[in-house]
Structure formats: structure tokens, C-alpha cells
A and B are shown apart, each in its own frame.
Chain A
Amino acid sequence: MDIKQITSPLQYDIIKELAVGDMVSISGRIVTGRDQIHKYLASGNPSPVDLAGLVIYHCGPVVIKEKGQWKITAAGPTTSVREEPYQAQIISKLRPGAIMGKGGMGEKTKKAMSECGCVYLHATGGAAQYLAECIVKVEGVYLEQFGQPESMWVLTIKDLPALVTMDAQGNSLHDDILNDSSKRLEELFSQPFKKSGK
């Protein structure tokens, strides 16, 4: 499988070429944001960082301070769908280039992604060490009042692997898997359990 190299902030012509199923390797500047940040931004508060074209990473990292420097010791994605009530608004107002997390997102986000030119990047949940090694620098931290996992961390990353699972054309791998597994579930329901096992 070919891997597409992309850089955050993302240009619009790159975003619109990305399609569901593309493996990407991301480098550049990204920001983290999870529950508190999303609620904060969707409530109309200004973003401390210009988010245009950037990757917003749904991630609550483990961070320690070593010799006065921030060090990320673990940084995998968190479940994105919790941000569904806020994400569409943030996409249309602040125009990030991509949302990265795990588990995919819902209809409202999908619509905003088509309208504004944004994609969803699926990172591997739980692979916190592999992904932390892709973070080459902590540029800064904002909104620290939300606690360490919930602050907005500005990071420089190199070659972070992800899969495009929602694109700017309105496609979603998550919808496809849900529909397919739903059919399979119906089939399995028609095979009643026998105590002897199968």
C-alpha cells in the first residue's frame, strides 16, 4: 500500500485529493484538543492558536517536565465521537485541515468536512509509545486550566502514520463497516446457541 506524505498545516488542494482508505504519514505542526477544549471553542471562545489548515489531534497526552522542558511520555488518540456535538461548529468556524483521533465521527461532522474541506485521520488507539516517538517537539501549551490531558498542546510531529477514514467528499469507512457488520449481526442472530458449542 502506498503511503502519502502530508504536512500540517494542510493545503486545500491536498485535502480534497485525500480519499477514504489512503494511508498517510503526517509531519508538521499539530494541536491536541479533547473534551474541554472542544466545549470551550464551540462556546465561542477564541482559539489561542490559529487552527487554519492544522491537524486537531483528539489526544490527552501524558506529559512530564524534565529539566524545565515538557516531555510527552505517551500520546495515542482518544475516542473522537465524544466531540461530535462541537466538531462541526469548530470546523466551519476555525477551518482546521484535518481531525485526527480514533473511532470516527458522525453525520454532522461528516457534513461539515464536505462543506469546509476537512478530513478525518484515524490513528491507532492505544499505540501510545509508537505515536509518542513521532512527536519531535513540544512547541507550547495553552489553556492549562483544563488539566494536563485536556490542555491544548502544540506539537511538531514527524511521520505519524494514520488512515483516512472520512474524506471531504462525504465518504466514511466507519459508515461502511457499520452497515456491513449490521448485516453480519442479523445473520448471526439467525444461528441460535447450542449448548454443545459450534
Chain B
Amino acid sequence: MYDLIRKTSTVLPEDVTLAIKKAIAREEKSSVAKQTLDIILKSIVLSSKNGLPICQDTGTVLVMIEGRPDKSIFHLEKSIKDAIRKLTKEGILRQNCVCSLTEKNTLDNTGMYVPQIHFEPSNGPTRISIMLKGGGSENMSTQYSLPNAKIQAGRDMEGVRRCLLDAVFQAQGKGCAPGILGVCIGGDRASGYLIAKKQLFRKLDDKNPLPVLAALEKTVLKQANELNVGPMGLGGKTTLLGVKIGHAGRHPACYFVTVSYSCWATRRYAVELNQKGEIRKWI
């Protein structure tokens, strides 16, 4: 567990690094956008080389466990918390948990409902996914209830498109653009955010198996990059690195579009465990 979380904090996933390299090639020479992305890439290389956090905001730890519901789950929960405490002491994770009542930092990254550990029963080998998501990008995440008069978004894919472009526009540079959108169409107020966040585990170069969502992902990515918000909101051709859309059944009265905005430093890895609870394979 220690190795998994440590790598998530210090080594940017390959697909995200590749997307940033492609963005550098797309931006004009000597533009602010290119210089910004150059600094980002240099920082990514440094963090990986020195084994230090990619971003000082090492985020909130989100854990998804898929596996057979048995006692080993409790053991996993303990080893996750132990690893988090150790990595916080080592400066690989920042002290990122504040008690909302006392306003005191808990100093070890654990607290009421922290870390968030979600369990999904599954019959296959145990799989653990970790995401470290920063507060700046989390603040830019948002939920629309359609119809929305302000952006004239109705209850259809065109309405969804308007929500997504509006969310990118509202975020400007504040979520550390170029970002990645994880989206959920439908669900309820709570499930929408979780399903949207789960979309961020998808590799940037994958293709949505549902043609209508694949087309929407492609359109929103292209159009968001025409907004000229650019890296860090300083202008340029790269505002988003990816759009990943999922869907969930909804109550007939509700139509939520939930956007989980992730910064360029999208840090997530997943592993499969063997029966001893050791990492068998990185996914």
C-alpha cells in the first residue's frame, strides 16, 4: 500500500505526461502557454527523479477497493491508514486533513471519514485504485441540475455539452488547467460526484464504448480547447487534456450533470493484489 500511494504522489502517470508533451508541441513558440507547460514538464521530471511530491497539494486520498467481501478488507483498511500516516511523516503527503469543527489540522491525514475508502463487491482478484486529488481542482468541480435557464441547457446531450463547456469556462485557470473532466450524466446528488470521479481513472487514450458518449467526449475536448483559457488560465490552445463521461440511471424528476475537474497533475494508479495482499500487477 505504501508503494502504491508513494508512487501516486511522486510519479505522474505515463498517459498524462504524454498528453502534456503533446500539448507543448501544439503551443506557439515562446508563448506564455508553452513556457508554462515547459515548467510543468521540468517539474514532473524532477519529482519522479527525486521521489518527491508532484504537487505540494498532495490531495485527498480516495481509495476504491474491488474484491470479495471478507475479513481481508479490514486488514486492507488498516494498511492504507498506516501507509498514509507514514508517508505524511516522510513529507510525501502533506498534512491535508483539518477537523471541520475544531479547525485543527489532524497532522496525519486521517480524520472523520478520511481517507475515503469505497468498497465494491466483486468476484475477481482484489483491485485497489488510489487517487490523490488536490483541493484547487476539487473546488472547481460542480453539479448542474437540468434544465438550467442560465446556460439554456435542456435535458439532452446538447444540454450536457453546455454544462461541460460552462464548467471549463467557470474554472478558468483556477483548477490548474490544462485539466481533465470526469463526468456523470444522471445519478443522484451523491452518486453523481463519485461516478464522475471514477471516470478520472480511465486512461486518457481510451475510447468510450458508447458511441454517443465517445462523440460527446471528442466534441467537448475540441471545443473547450477553443476557449483560449490555456494552461493556468493564461491563454493558449490547451485548456483540457481529456474528457471522460459516464452515465447512471436517474429519478424521472432529476437530471444531474456532475463534473469532477481534475488538474493537469492527475495522480491515480490501480493495482491488482495477490492472495497475500502484495502487488501482483500495476494496471
Which residues on A are within 8 Å of B, measured CB to CB? Answer: 1, 21, 23, 59-64, 71, 73-76, 78-79, 81, 102-104, 122, 124-133, 146-150, 161, 163, 165, 173-174, 177-178, 180-182, 184-185, 188-189, 191-198
Stretch at the interface among B54-62, B123-131, B194-202: B54-62
Q: A122–B46 contact, CB under 8 A?
A: no
CA distance A195 to B53 in the complex (A): 41
Given the known interface contacts A1-B30, A76-B55, A177-B172, the answer about A129 and B43 at a Cβ–Cβ threshold of 8 Å is yes
Q: A127–B39 contact, CB under 8 A?
A: yes
Contacts of A195 in B (CB 8 A): 157, 211-212, 215
Distance in Å from the Cβ of A196 to the closest Cβ of chain B? 6
Contacts of A23 in B (CB 8 A): 32, 35
Q: A149–B95 contact, CB under 8 A?
A: yes
Stretch at the interface among B66-74, B230-238, B274-282: B230-238
Given the known interface contacts A125-B263, A163-B32, the answer about A62 and B91 at a Cβ–Cβ threshold of 8 Å is yes
CA distance A176 to B35 in the complex (A): 19
Given the known interface contacts A102-B173, A193-B158, A196-B215, the answer about A73 and B53 at a Cβ–Cβ threshold of 8 Å is yes
Distance in Å from the Cβ of B212 to the closest Cβ of chain A? 5
Given the known interface contacts A103-B174, A128-B56, A177-B228, the answer about A73 and B234 at a Cβ–Cβ threshold of 8 Å is no
CA distance A198 to B218 in the complex (A): 8
Q: B169 near A: Cβ within 8 Å?
A: yes
Q: B176 near A: Cβ within 8 Å?
A: yes
Residue of A nearest to B52 (CB): A73
Contacts of B44 in A (CB 8 A): 129
Q: A147–B226 contact, CB under 8 A?
A: no
Closest 7 CB pairs of A and B: A147-B105, A197-B215, A74-B56, A64-B91, A130-B43, A127-B43, A129-B46
Q: A60–B56 contact, CB under 8 A?
A: yes
Q: B232–A124 contact, CB under 8 A?
A: yes
Contact for B56 among A62, A64, A173, A177, CB less than 8 A: A62
Chain B interfacial residues counted at CB < 8 A:
69
10 contacts between A and B (CB under 8 A): A62-B94, A76-B43, A102-B173, A102-B232, A103-B172, A125-B263, A128-B56, A185-B169, A193-B219, A198-B219
Contacts of B134 in A (CB 8 A): 126
CA distance A21 to B57 in the complex (A): 27
CA distance A196 to B215 in the complex (A): 6
Q: A103–B233 contact, CB under 8 A?
A: yes
Q: B50 near A: Cβ within 8 Å?
A: yes
Chain B contacts with A in 16-64, Cβ cutoff 8 A: 30, 32, 35-36, 39-40, 42-44, 46-47, 50, 52-58
Q: B55–A74 contact, CB under 8 A?
A: yes
Kindly name the residue among B46, B105, B232, B263 whose own CB sees the greatest number of chain A CB atoms within 10 A: B232
Contact for B234 among A127, A173, A182, A196, CB less than 8 A: A173
Distance in Å from the Cβ of A55 to the closest Cβ of chain B? 17
Query: What 1/0 mask marks residues of chain B from 184 to 215 whose CB sits below 8 Å from any chain A CB?
Result: 00000000000000000000000000011011
CA distance A59 to B230 in the complex (A): 22
Q: B219–A125 contact, CB under 8 A?
A: no
CA distance A182 to B54 in the complex (A): 32
Q: B36–A184 contact, CB under 8 A?
A: no
